Structures are given as structure tokens and as C-alpha cells.
Amino acid sequence: MVFCSRCGKELAEDAFFCPKCGYKTLKGTEAGVVSPYEDWRETLSRMGKEMEKAFDTAAKEIEKAFSTAKKSIQDSTGTTPTVCPSCGTSAKPGAVFCTNCGNRLRE
């Protein structure tokens, strides 16, 4: 007689899984039978990796789109920050002198 090692239910000699609890028997393990759980786990793992790649690609595209939109808005509203030619510090739009080094920003 063969019994399930998880729940103790009596099993048929050729059973790969316990009919009561679904646990894979020693015979099932030796035969290399894949349980539905293992199959689902592998499938979900592959799906997760594919989704991660898709989200990474989407994040890069969104970041690029926001950067382009920001630049476009700044150009159209004249709010592009001025950069000091002397020290490289960004100044607020319309500033005449650099707040870092005091250099004149515009002629």
C-alpha cells in the first residue's frame, strides 16, 4: 500500500498526485511529472520578466516625452533658464546677473 506523504490518504500504486490534497507522489517525482502549480509558476515568472521589460521601455519613453514637452513649453513661453557663461550656474529667466559669481548674463 502507498500513502500520501502530506495527508496520509491511501493512493493507487501508479498515482502521480494525491486525489485528496494534490501533492505530487514519489512516483510522480520520479516520472518527472510537472504539477500545474509548477507550470503556472514558470509561466508567471516569464510574464513578470516580460512585463518588467515593457514597463522599463515605457518609463524611458515617458521620460523622453516629458523632457521634450518641458523644452517645448520653455521655448514657447520664453522661460528657458539662462546659464552663466563664466561659472555655468543656471539663472532664473530674465536675470541680468549671476547669483553665484556676479557676472553679467546678458549684454
Whether 14 is in a domain gets the answer: yes
Quote the number of domains for the chain.
Answer: 1
Domain hosting 4: range is 1-33
Whether 59 is in a domain gets the answer: no
**pLDDT surpassing 90 at residue 35:** no
Instruction: Answer with the residue of higher pLDDT: 2 or 79.
Output: 2
CB 97 within 8 A of CB 103: yes
Whether 22 is in a domain gets the answer: yes
Whether 69 is in a domain gets the answer: no
What percent of the chain has a predicted confidence (pLDDT) above 90? 57
Question: How many Å apart are CA 12 and CA 15, to the nearest integer?
Answer: 5
Whether 81 is in a domain gets the answer: no
Whether 15 is in a domain gets the answer: yes
Whether 20 is in a domain gets the answer: yes
Whether 90 is in a domain gets the answer: no
